[in-house]
Structure 1
């Protein structure tokens, strides 16, 4: 299925630092290298990491149940200075029968600064742990119950006083979020990991599409934008993404980083992949707008009405 809302940039694309969502970006891993044992930090902040025992997949890095799998960032990489922060990622798990790690500053313990994981404490949750200089360590569980084999956009943000959790762009207030804290994060370690902790436990058993760290807090609108268009801050020529021929739109899907082409058609009010019956809502207008605004670049006389009447 084509997902226009998650177009992973091609390998080598650079961040457009003038874009508002690039402000404060201190760590950015797209996991689109597709081979090798390195993942590259596109924020140019020195967070290139080493990977062990992972499987490259269509959408990112696939983690099995082996705890020897590891995405270790350099010990010199210290993006969190104890102040405000935001961590965002798009992940799914195959099973939540145990704690499944998303992002860790060190090990899965109450003395550590920041943990973000799928928690299976009785009822499945999204969990976070924060340790500050003025507040005893607080473990918080969200109210949204994650489902196995489903993608989730996760955003954990702290503005210096309140920590909030957003799932798929919507704030989760049903569980322990939001919560107020004092002081700053106790950054006593710099062993950041994606997919499990520094003790090589709490393996994700799933897939990570991307991970990003900001040295500022996100607003609700920014959390929603990060969910809808997480790669919007990358330089892209959208004219290269679409073409229209004879009333059929061909979309060059780069969500897997490989540039796979697919054909999309309309059916029952949704725009869909010709090879998939699962619909994507609220994107037909986006495509029509792009075609209209970029008609000269697309070298086509098709109008917005043509795009609306795809067959």
Structure 2
């Protein structure tokens, strides 16, 4: 269904509903809401069928729904002829102007003086911003106006204008209302009894021509005409239908449409509350109430105890003295010190025992009988709290000095050791725990060896054995032989020959506490225990009888563990790469670091580097002959060569550090070996990837085919020759390694 049809049905429904409900509002003869939004018909919702014809006026937003805008040449002609007797005309307007000099017509009749008589009832405003209701009788040739004061209307806002004409026995009463409020009342002798014209909205006209035509410029909405004079209350109610909470802000602009009556509001219709007490201005009779105060319904503060502090702010709202907050108790005597008017006030603040001496100076603030104050009143060096004679520097008040040490003796007197002039009873400091006191040299148990537990003349901090008076060795290394004096049998002899005999001629003294770890063994083979390849042969000293001639070679077959396919089988001399498995090359684990182990590790790394160099050279020659060198192969070869160069640099650094830093030399050698192993592994992978490929080219002729066969044969021949060469090279390398080990 089209939108226009739906709108038409809605208007038809409104018309039917208005006709059914027309009797509910007494005397209503014409009602135009202007909510149609299109078309040229303004429907009458009074139920009387006085639909108006729109001439030129356009649809705009209204005070309720839509309205009609008149541009100074527009009007609406209704079918209504005003009835005789009393009447009311009302409308909502916003902005106004006229084609006439002073008057702006809202609604009125055509004046038919040329046709022999007629009456007019016209509602309008004037250019001085006043409102008027004008009645004119052609028969009597006179008229009367009910006019408000000027400058009442604000053309930027909506205003409700209503005029009532009430016919009495002797005269008629005209009243003009603006926004529900009466502004003028006029009495006149006029009795309207003849209305020839239909009622017009937005124009007054005289006769059928253009003489005296006055048009309205502005917006008109909600026009109603009654055949009776509405009361002031009814006029007010009609106005407040567009201001439901009666706050002076129309519904269309009201953002707080339920504001309490009599509240002052802002331009958006929301209540003003100057003191933020939730009682709006207009109702609040105490507009300056302090923040957070509890207030009455009229906005005035509540002060239950009349102490000048309102409830909500008052911490003790029912206690004039606010004793509930008087909780300060600095002396912890359960009495408060804040307010002297409270029943539990502390008469002695800061005085726990309430003896009149404040806690800060009271010697015993828990004993009301002790009124001594801290300090030294007699300047005798004894605090009053322990001075039996706080006002007598000689402490002779009840004290007798029997031992002549200047200190009175007896209960509460100063002398700590009665009948002991030296006061040895207090000389109890014993820092070295030898049972002798260290305070007073005059005491019989004075410690002549302070901080010396065994009293051997060597203080505890440097004594090698402070429990043995016969041991006077001091901590340190007097002879600079790397042995602490406490363990050195010859602390003043760097060669340790004092009482030591070098029986095996290795330059190390033998005997208890001497330097030789292996007496009668010139080669000190008893400590040569390194066995990196777990073959029960030691690898430290080649002069020892159980020296391992095959370092890093568990089965001692001349092939190092690193390269041996099976290092538990001396008959298997295959090297990795031809084992047929993916076994990882193990990392050499050397547990003892010395010059010999470093040299061994460097030798192993050199062997691996040599293997890597030879293998990559053989592989490169094979690939060149088979024409399988491409960018990818070149990059892999370059990577292998870089690893070899880095391994060589590590070996050079390791050689330079053998004597000065064996540990670092070992680390560098191991890293060199790892780099070389990676180079060997990459080379083997490269060889495996390409050695099975043949360089077969498409033969375009018999000679080409012959060349192809020759190249294939050459490639296979080179492949087996290269592999045999590598095997031979590795066997030769084993021999060289063995020779190198014998050398070292």
The answer to which structure, 1 or 2, has the higher relative contact order (CA under 8 A, 6+ apart) is 1
CA distance in structure 1 between the aligned counterparts of 2:268 and 2:69, rounded to whole angstroms: 25
> Partner of 1:141 in structure 2?
147
Measured against aligned partners, the alpha-carbon deviations of 1:127-146 in whole angstroms (never above 9, x if no partner) come to 22113577931133221532
Q: Which one of the candidate residues 221, 225, 228 is aligned to 2:240? A: 228
Superposed CA deviations along residues 131-181 of structure 1, whole A, max 9, x for unmatched, are: 357793113322153222221101101221311111100000xxxx20112
Question: In the alignment, is residue 35 of structure 1 matched against residue 38 of structure 2?
Answer: yes
Counterpart in 1 of 2:216? Answer: 204
Task: Identify which of 32, 41, 60 aligns with 1:57.
Answer: 60
Structure 2 equivalent of residue 99 of structure 1? 103
TM-score relative to the length of structure 1: 0.63
What is the CA-CA distance between 1:278 and the residue it aligns to? 3.5
1:192-240 Cα deviation digits (max 9, x unpaired): 11111246732221111110000011111001001111699xxxxxxxx
Q: CA separation in 1, counterparts of 2:254 and 2:178? A: 30
> Offset at 1:280?
2.4
The answer as to whether partners of 2:163 and 2:174 remain within 8 angstroms in 1 is yes
In 2: Cα distance, 1:178 partner to 1:29 partner: 27
Residue pairs, 1:64-143, within 5 angstroms: 64-65=71-72, 67=73, 69-74=74-79, 77-78=80-81, 80-95=82-97, 98-107=102-111, 112-120=119-127, 123-132=128-137, 136-143=142-149
Structure-2 residue corresponding to 1:242? none
Q: Deviations over 1:274-307 (max 9, x none)?
A: xxx842268xxxxxxxxxxxxxxxxxxxxxxxxx
Please give the secondary structure, in 2, of the residue aligned with 1:131: strand
Rounded to whole Å, the distance in 2 between the matches of 1:93 and 1:107 is 26
Number of the residue aligned with 1:250: none
Distance in 2 separating the partners of 1:281 and 1:213: 33
Structure 2 equivalent of residue 297 of structure 1 = none
Aligned to 1:165: 176
Are the counterparts in 2 of residues 131 and 186 from structure 1 also a CA contact under 8 Å? no
Q: Contact 2:119–2:192 (CA<8 Å) still a contact in 1? A: no
Question: TM-score, normalization: structure 2?
Answer: 0.28
* C-alpha contact (below 8 Å) 1:157/1:164 kept by paired residues: yes
The structure carrying a bigger helix percent of its residues is 2
| Match status 1:151 vs 2:151 | no
* Structure 1 gaps, min length 5: 1-9, 233-253, 256-261, 271-276, 283-311
SS at match of 1:124: coil
Partner of 1:251: none
Structure 2 portions without partners, runs of 5+: 1-9, 245-250, 272-744
The equivalent of 1:44 in structure 2 is 47
Specify which structure has the higher proportion of strand. 1
Change (3 A) 1:204 1:183: closer
- In 2 relative to 1, CA 185–230 (structure 1 residues): closer, same or farther, beyond 3 Å? farther
Distance change >3 Å, CA 280–CA 82, structure 1 → 2: same
Matched with 1:235 is none
> Aligned partners of 2:143, 2:256: CA distance in 1, in Å?
51
Change (3 A) 1:72 1:198: farther
Deviation at 1:263, TM superposition (A): 11
SS in 2 for 1:46: coil
SS, match of residue 197 in structure 1: strand
Structure 1 counterpart SS, 2:162: strand
Deviates more, 1:91-100 or 1:159-168: 91-100
Counterpart CA distance in 1 for 2:69 and 2:105 is: 13
Higher alpha-carbon Rg:
2
Is the partner of 1:153 in helix, strand or coil?
Answer: strand
Distance 2:270 2:129 in 1: 27
Specify whether residues 210 and 115 from structure 1 end up closer, same or farther in structure 2 by C-alpha distance, changes over 3 A only.
same
> Size of the alignment, in residue pairs?
228
CA pair 231-149 structure 1, distance change in 2 beyond 3 A: closer
* Bigger Cα displacement from structure 2, 109-118 vs 22-31: 109-118
Equivalence for 1:181 = 188
